Amino acid sequence: MNTENTAPAAPLEEPAAPRRTRFEEFWRLLRKNSLALAGLVVFGLFLATAVAGVFLTSGSKPVLDPSVVRLQEKLRPPLSRSDAASLKPDEIPAMGVYLFGTDDLGRDVFARMLQGAWVSLTVGFVAVGISVAIGIFMGAIAGYYGQQYVRLEQVMLAAWLLGGAALLAAGVRTLGAVVLVAGHAWLFFSISPWGVSRRKSPPPWMRIFLKGTIRVDTIIMRFVDIMLCFPSFFLILTVVALLPASIYTIMIVIGLTSWEGTARFVRAEFLSLREQDFVAAARALGVGNFRIIFRHMTPNAIAPVLVSATIGIASAILTEAGLSFLGFGVPPPHATWGNILSDGKRFIFDAPWLTFIPGAAILLVVLAFNLFGEGLRDILNPKLRQRN
Amino acid sequence: MRKGVFLSTRRFLILVPLVLSLLLLQSYFWVPTYDEQARGNPGRLEEYINASIGDASILNPILSADSASSEIESQVFDGLIDRDENLHFRGRVAQSWEVTEEAFFFVNDAARVPGALGSEPESVLRHLEQKRNDPAALSAPVQKSLQNIRALTLLPPRNYTVTRPRPGSDAKAAAEIRLEVAAPARIKLVLREVDQDLFTHLAEILGADYFTTFQAARHITAAPAVSETDLAALTEALLPAIEQNPVIEFRLRPGVRFHDGRAVGAADVRFTYEAIMDPRNLSPRVADYEPVKEIHILDPLTLRIVYKRLYSPAIGTWAMGILPRHLLNAEALKQEAVRSGKDPAAFSMRQSAFNRAPVGCGPFVFKEWKSDQAIFLDRFEDYWEGPVNYKTYAYRIIPDLLTQEMEFYAGTIDSYGVQPYQVERLAGDPRFQSFSGTSYSYAYIGYNLRRKPFDDPRVRRALAMAIDVNKIIRFVLYNQGERTTGPFLRQTDFYNDAVAPVPFDPQGALRLLAEAGWQPDAEGRLAKNGQRLQFTLISNSGNDIRKSILAITQDAWKQIGIDVRTDLLEWSVFIQERVNKLDFDALVLGWSMGIDPDLYQIWHSSQTGPHQLNFGGYRNPEADDLIIKIRQEYNHDRLVDYCHQLHALIARDQPYTFLYVPKWTAVLDKRIVIRDADAEGRSRYRRITPTKTGNHMFYFNQWIKLAEMPQFSN
Amino acid sequence: MIAFIGRSIVQKIITLFFVSIVSFAIIHLAPGEPSQVDPLNPKFTPEMVERFRTAFHLDQPLYVQYAYFYRDLFRGSTVSWKDNQPVLKKIWERFLNSLPLFIVGTLITWTISFPVGIRSAIFRGGIYDRSATFISYVLISIPGFFFAYILIILVVTQLEVPVIGMQTFGIGDTAWPFRIMDRLWHMLLPSILGATGGIAVLSRYVRSQMLEVEGQDYVRTARAKGLPWEMVHYKHALRNALLPFVTMFGLILPGLIGGSVIIESIFSWPGMGRMAYEAILSRDYPLILTINFIAAVLVLIGTFVSDVLYVLVDPRIRL
């Protein structure tokens, strides 16, 4: 029963081991985690497919044209040969075979899947890219500047500008514009050498404006709290349903609604990193704040971000599929695996391949991302590393 | 000992999910399968379960505007009339009705009547009487118009004072003007049936300009004085030279009762009308009833509806369900508001609980509404036509098409809207009977005629010729559609079968485009003066068939060298940002229509503004004239004639590419049959057969489900 | 402690205020208008559309609409634009429908995740652990509606019993055990589908918590002492690994109003998610905003409860 006691003894670590680079170490650990490795392999294949898809399905005379409608060839099962007699020469699919069959308009499912791979991949990567960028930025600011206070003067300025924007939005054009212009004028004035905050000894009545009100960290983390108050799928659905459908809306919306987690743990990492010696050293050398944040600290906080980004791509692909099911996915002419699947579900009895091929493909790719992410987490988190 | 405790922690952790799963899984053995449902519960046979994608919104016939609500309302409420198998009107709550006309004109003492003794009222009247008795010298249509007159009477002059808001001012009481009206004598004609040409024909007797030269302004003095144009507008409303008032007199069926036992009377009908016109109710049907001038109750079962002007769709509007006055009048609403603690002043019929628990006089009594789940109705035992066969009617809401089909297989719904691609599979199943018919709608590609190149009818025709509609019908609709060539319903007489569909002919299309100046360039793309032929075709998202049409037409037009982009927009964005603002090139859309052939809102040139329904911008004076004539014609044969002309005209102009009329298919268990009683009161069964217009639900009140599939002798 | 609670409540209320502004802005700044003023209905005249707009205050500036809406909400007199029903009553009805699904789903999730997660932690790296990992990732990787369709088709074609809706329609007045079991059966598939993601995530979480604890010195000591392995794992380790889960009870609270749109649409379950979805489609602003507001309140209460619980159970945190 006690398997862990009888587990084979680990090979003795050689003293020279630490000389391995980080990448070698990573690779060594990854190879031991066969699920994660499989995930990586599938991930690689998917990438290759997507890139190949772009080349094979775009351009003016693509090898595999996903948009050719051949109504008389509709709902052909996979591997069936096309009927050359009824088609025009440029309608015949490559090699005369429908590898994955055809859909309800007689379009080649294989070509559509290839094209969809790239679009799905883009949706996943761009959405996650947006979310990671915002997350790192917010988390870094909160972690690094967290303990500083925002001055009353700044709060008032922000309120003033917001008020101006609100007036504009509410339709009071002139007043709003005046308020905004005045706000910006004050902003430039205060940054300038004559600004209040730059003076060596401001008069006492002015000091009240320089008083700290609220911590930067508090603002950002409360903002994260506000975002977390929205049920995320519901929020995405609301925005996607209300805005005109486009692939960009979907990517941006998914990205804008999923950065909170990243922000939280980047902040946590930063809180511990900023106390470390290398940061103090950089500061002592007079390195600028932003350089410290992005050049010195961020690379050290990137590990958990990578894990969540990998899993984030998986969930972005699933979210897109879910939106497609409800009719709010990426609109045509872009094919995504999500909308191929949800278009195909109507024909689940007549043409099961239209459901099962994209369904299985999504499952496989999402699974690969998840497993790879999980493996990454194990590898990057020394605490969870198996002690043999 | 302690070891045992922790052993049991582990067991507990494993046991709990096991017990839970077993409990859940065993529930399977309690659920009836398809066959067991009727065997275990004979009541299932007397229950009709219908499935729908969407829930009803408001169960009040004067307030609802969605199809789910109106389906329930048609079971709970009865109107005065409906349509029979041949789409002719048939009495329901009304037993009989008569359409007549009252027409008036002011005696024009300035005009000289040829052949009459003078221009004073008596001589004009006598002149008309004389012509009526001796019409030989007149043309046949005029003779007919005169024979149609039942009585001629003279109404004496009348003096009265009215106040009207000052034209052009929107302040309330501040600017009013007093008008002293000295109305001249008027002649009233009572007609046997409505005659839209009456006054054109009378003009042949009284002089061509008898009606046009009537100086109404002379008979009115305004205080304070207003400008001449304003006065003209006021007098136009007060003293119109001619007036034609169609009159419908309904005689209600005695003994019709609401579900709560109160008798249905003429007062309820008038109340329904008043409720529609009450601005606080925001009824979407105001436009239908706006032409009503007044409703008189002659006796508790007779009412007389007078219209302001000729408006032939008027009769059809009385299919509207009759509301019970005693439950919804001002007094009842006030009491309800007080009971529910709301402000009685702000409480309107829209807020009433009636809308979720309606009471009507239809074949089914409302029982329960579980939002987004089901609506249950029970049969009305005192229904005037005798109780229906089914005991209950359930309207289930199943938003997913595939699971609707699954529920049909599992036997927990009796009918659902079968999708075109499911038809073949289901129609061949020996367990089911299937019905099919054309629906009251059509699909089209509409062009924005304000924009180039769509202002050229040759281009529109060429675009239509490039599309193989038969192919769309065959492959996208699985043959569940029929071609249509014009704006009328295929199953009505109004549809002109002589109009041939635009042929599929890409070469011909190219020739037509070349005539219009569009020549293919080196790459085969069409261009004119260096300008490529390109535009965007849009439609709304969420409709798979439209999506396919979009893809197919894009492809078809690409074949002849037209560069078409396509775009799918969410419905409300599509409507509000593009259609309403007239910001589109071409769009794929459908119209669903009533049986009535009134095309005013969709095709008349006065309806081309933003937010109006003629968004394509079709203008043709000839068509306008026909549309108005159709609106005013009460005679069926003439109506059909006008409609055929209009159909041919629109088909010639091709403002739309008319695509197809979708067919619906209904699949039912074969055990559902019609049961009616023979002379001795024994039950006789017959197979459900559709009517000539394809409506299989026509005899729904006699339907019943049997335990075994019946054998029919015939 | 009191100060902590007080401060945290004030914070949550401020957050809620901002949430209300943001959600209001998102919905009202989007293009399109409520479908009740659907202008493509031939029976609608522009004047009527205008009247609707006035009745719904749509012609007022945004901040006035905001004030109207939240005034009505706190008075409890908000009505849906779609059918004039009081919004709170509608939500309550749907909540009662979603509740059983939520309860069964949560029960399945929590009862299955623990034994699975613990066992895979104990036998880390073994066949069991690997297959559990693999299966749980398959479960969260499969598109929900795809999985649902496969299950439904299997059940209906193979077992010939209905699975859609909250109960079998037309079973009439059969005996009560049948009706209860029938309801249970209809709950089975949707709650399993709703639970799959939860099981996968939670069992992974249990596993990693257990691993973290198992690596601690006191567990090693207990093992070294020669205690029976069950006692080591199920007493020493499990108890401490459970700690963070106490706080998760607070976090399942928002799930009460969640409800999956997709699962509910497929199973035509008249729950919260579907109502919210249909409200979005018909742009029934009062309903969308109210649901959003309640969801935000629940999230905030949830985090509040979990914060307090954490303070209560973890002796390391002192205020």
Spatial contact of C250 and C236, defined as CB atoms under 8 Å apart: no
* Beta-bridge partners for C79: C86
Name which of C120, C134, C280 to mutate to probe chain A: the one with the most chain A Cβ atoms within 10 A of its Cβ.
C280
> With pLDDT > 70 as the criterion, what percentage of chain B qualifies?
97
Q: Which residue of A has its CA nearest to C281?
A: A241
Hey, where are the domains in chain B?
Answer: 5-83+356-438+666-705, 89-98+247-333, 105-243, 441-664
Q: Which residue of C has its CA nearest to B53?
A: C268
Distances from the Cα of A3 to the Cα of A35, C125, C127, C208, C229, angstroms: 20, 10, 11, 19, 11
Find chain B residues with C-beta within 8 A of C150's C-beta.
none
Give the residue, A31 or B338, on which the prediction is more confident.
B338
ipTM above threshold 0.90: no
Report pLDDT for C39.
Answer: 44
Task: Please give the mean pLDDT across all residues of chain B.
Answer: 86
- Number of residue pairs across A and B with CB atoms under 8 Å? 58
Of A170, A243, A366, the CB nearest to C62: A170
C87-122 and C285-313 helices, crossing angle to 10°: 40
Of B425, B472, B548, the CB nearest to A349: B425
> Is 60 exceeded by the pLDDT of residue A18?
no
* Beta-bridge partners for B663: B438
Pick from A121-125, B95-99, B281-285, B658-662: least confident = B281-285
pTM metric for this prediction: 0.82
Q: What is the 3-state secondary structure (H, E, C) of C297-318?
A: HHHHHHHHHHHHHHHHHCCCCC
Name which of B14, B355, B372 to mutate to probe chain C: the one with the most chain C Cβ atoms within 10 A of its Cβ.
B372
Helix (H) or strand (E) holding B565: strand B563-569
CA of C85 vs chain B CAs: smallest distance (Å): 8
Q: What is the CATH number of the domain that holds A239?
A: 1.10.3720.10
Q: Does the beta-carbon distance from A350 to B569 stay under 8 Å?
A: no
Q: Does the beta-carbon distance from B421 to A346 stay under 8 Å?
A: yes
Report pLDDT for B442.
Answer: 92
**DSSP label at C65?**
H
Q: Does the beta-carbon distance from B550 to A332 stay under 8 Å?
A: yes
Q: Is the peptide bond before B224 cis (omega within 30 degrees of 0)?
A: yes
> Is 70 exceeded by the pLDDT of residue C217?
yes
The residue behind tokens 């879910």 is: A322
Report pLDDT for B63.
Answer: 86
Spatial contact of B387 and B381, defined as CB atoms under 8 Å apart: yes
Find chain A residues with C-beta within 8 A of C215's C-beta.
383, 387
Give the tens place of pLDDT for each residue, B418-449: 887 778 777 778 888 888 888 888 999 999 99
Task: Give the mean pLDDT of C185-197.
Answer: 89
Distances from the Cα of B693 to the Cα of B72, B84, B436, B689, angstroms: 22, 10, 10, 11
Cα–Cα distance for residue pair B675/B683, rounded to 1 Å: 6
Give the tens place of pLDDT for each residue, B394-420: 999 988 888 888 888 888 888 887 887
How does residue A81 score in pLDDT terms, banded at 50, 70 and 90?
confident
In a domain, residue A18? The reply is no
Report pLDDT for B269.
Answer: 94
Q: Is A139 on the interface with B (CB under 8 A)?
A: no
Q: What is the third-level CATH fold of B441-664? A: Dipeptide-binding Protein; domain 3 (3.10.105)
Please give the sequence-ordered ranges of beta strands (E in DSSP) within B33-157, or none if there are none: 47-52, 81-83, 89-91, 94-106, 149-155
Burial class (CB in 10 A: 0-12, 13-18, 19+), C225: exposed
Give the tens place of pLDDT for each residue, C48-106: 667 777 777 777 777 888 888 888 888 888 888 777 788 898 889 888 888 888 899 98
Give the tens place of pLDDT for each residue, B536-593: 999 987 787 888 898 889 888 988 889 899 888 877 778 877 888 889 999 999 888 8
Cα–Cα distance for residue pair A78/A88, rounded to 1 Å: 21
The residue behind tokens 């909400």 is: C73
Task: Give the mean pLDDT of C242-257.
Answer: 75
Cα–Cα distance for residue pair B702/B675, rounded to 1 Å: 5
> Is 50 exceeded by the pLDDT of residue A165?
yes
In a domain, residue A14? The reply is no
Give the tens place of pLDDT for each residue, B278-327: 888 878 788 889 899 999 999 999 999 999 989 988 888 999 999 999 99
Q: Which residue of A has its CA nearest to B471?
A: A71
> Is 50 exceeded by the pLDDT of residue B199?
yes
> Is 90 exceeded by the pLDDT of residue A339?
no
Q: Which residue of B has its CA nearest to A107?
A: B551
> Is 50 exceeded by the pLDDT of residue B506?
yes
> Is 70 exceeded by the pLDDT of residue B337?
yes
Spatial contact of B516 and A315, defined as CB atoms under 8 Å apart: no
Helix (H) or strand (E) holding B674: strand B672-677
CA of C178 vs chain B CAs: smallest distance (Å): 6
Find chain C residues with C-beta within 8 A of B30's C-beta.
177-178, 181-182, 185
Query: Domain span at residue A351?
Result: 39-384
Q: Does the beta-carbon distance from C204 to A321 stay under 8 Å?
A: no
CA of C138 vs chain A CAs: smallest distance (Å): 6
> Is 50 exceeded by the pLDDT of residue A2?
no
Spatial contact of B435 and B88, defined as CB atoms under 8 Å apart: no
Task: Give the mean pLDDT of A214-231.
Answer: 84
| Chains linked to B by 3 or more Cβ pairs within 8 Å | A, C
Helix, strand, coil percentages, rounded to 5, for chain B: 35, 25, 40
Burial class (CB in 10 A: 0-12, 13-18, 19+), B104: middle
Of A105, A333, A350, the CB nearest to B421: A350
Cα–Cα distance for residue pair B240/B679, rounded to 1 Å: 58
What is the bridge-based pairing of β-strands B47-52 and B392-397? parallel
Q: Does the beta-carbon distance from C32 to B576 stay under 8 Å?
A: yes
What is the bridge-based pairing of β-strands B374-379 and B392-397? antiparallel
Report pLDDT for B304.
Answer: 95
Q: How many helices (H) and strands (E) would you count in chain C?
A: 15, 0
Residue B203: which residues within 8 A CB-CB, separation 6 or more?
Answer: B209, B210, B211
How does residue A151 score in pLDDT terms, banded at 50, 70 and 90?
confident
Name which of C8, C57, C137, C266 to mutate to probe chain A: the one with the most chain A Cβ atoms within 10 A of its Cβ.
C137
Cα–Cα distance for residue pair B150/B145, rounded to 1 Å: 11
Q: Is A221 on the interface with C (CB under 8 A)?
A: no
Cα–Cα distance for residue pair C116/A247, rounded to 1 Å: 39
**DSSP label at A300?**
G
Q: Does the beta-carbon distance from B566 to A333 stay under 8 Å?
A: yes
Report pLDDT for B4.
Answer: 52
> Is 60 exceeded by the pLDDT of residue B237?
yes
The architecture (CATH level 2) of B89-98+247-333 comes to: Alpha-Beta Complex (3.90)
Report pLDDT for A5.
Answer: 43
Q: Which residue of A has its CA nearest to B424?
A: A350
What single-letter amino acid sits at B170? D
Is A288 in a helix, a strand, or coil? Answer: coil
Report pLDDT for A4.
Answer: 41
How many domains does chain A fold into? 1
CA of B544 vs chain C CAs: smallest distance (Å): 17
Task: Give the mean pLDDT of B453-479.
Answer: 90
Find chain C residues with C-beta within 8 A of B574's C-beta.
none
Find chain B residues with C-beta within 8 A of A242's C-beta.
570
Report pLDDT for A200.
Answer: 59
> Is 50 exceeded by the pLDDT of residue A51?
yes
Report pLDDT for A344.
Answer: 87
Pick from A148-152, A379-383, B189-193, B377-381: least confident = A379-383
Find chain B residues with C-beta within 8 A of A350's C-beta.
421, 425
- Phi and psi torsions of A192, nearest 5°: -65, 165
Cα–Cα distance for residue pair A64/A90, rounded to 1 Å: 10
Give the residue, C127 or B237, on which the prediction is more confident.
C127
CA of A165 vs chain B CAs: smallest distance (Å): 24
The residue behind tokens 């007078």 is: B306
Q: Does the beta-carbon distance from B49 to C170 stay under 8 Å?
A: yes
Give the tens place of pLDDT for each residue, C119-164: 888 888 788 988 988 898 898 899 888 999 999 988 888 888 888 8
Task: Please give the mean pLDDT across all residues of chain A.
Answer: 80
Q: Does the beta-carbon distance from C40 to B58 stay under 8 Å?
A: no
Q: What is the third-level CATH fold of B5-83+356-438+666-705? A: D-Maltodextrin-Binding Protein; domain 2 (3.40.190)
The residue behind tokens 């009762």 is: B257
Residue C302: which residues within 8 A CB-CB, separation 6 or more?
Answer: C250, C251, C252, C253, C254
Spatial contact of B663 and B438, defined as CB atoms under 8 Å apart: yes
What is the bridge-based pairing of β-strands A149-151 and A97-98? unpaired
- State in Å, rounded, how far the first CA of chain B is from the last one: 83
Burial class (CB in 10 A: 0-12, 13-18, 19+), B366: buried
Name which of A155, A175, A225, A347 to mutate to probe chain C: the one with the most chain C Cβ atoms within 10 A of its Cβ.
A225
Residue A115: which residues within 8 A CB-CB, separation 6 or more?
Answer: A53, A57, A58, A66, A334, A335
Name which of A112, A247, A346, A348 to mutate to probe chain B: the one with the most chain B Cβ atoms within 10 A of its Cβ.
A346
The residue behind tokens 């109750």 is: B297
Q: Which residue of C has its CA nearest to A373?
A: C137
Name which of C16, C23, C91, C141 to mutate to probe chain A: the one with the most chain A Cβ atoms within 10 A of its Cβ.
C141
| Ordered domains of chain C (ranges, CATH) | 87-313 (1.10.3720.10)
Q: Is A178 on the interface with B (CB under 8 A)?
A: no
Helix (H) or strand (E) holding B191: strand B186-191
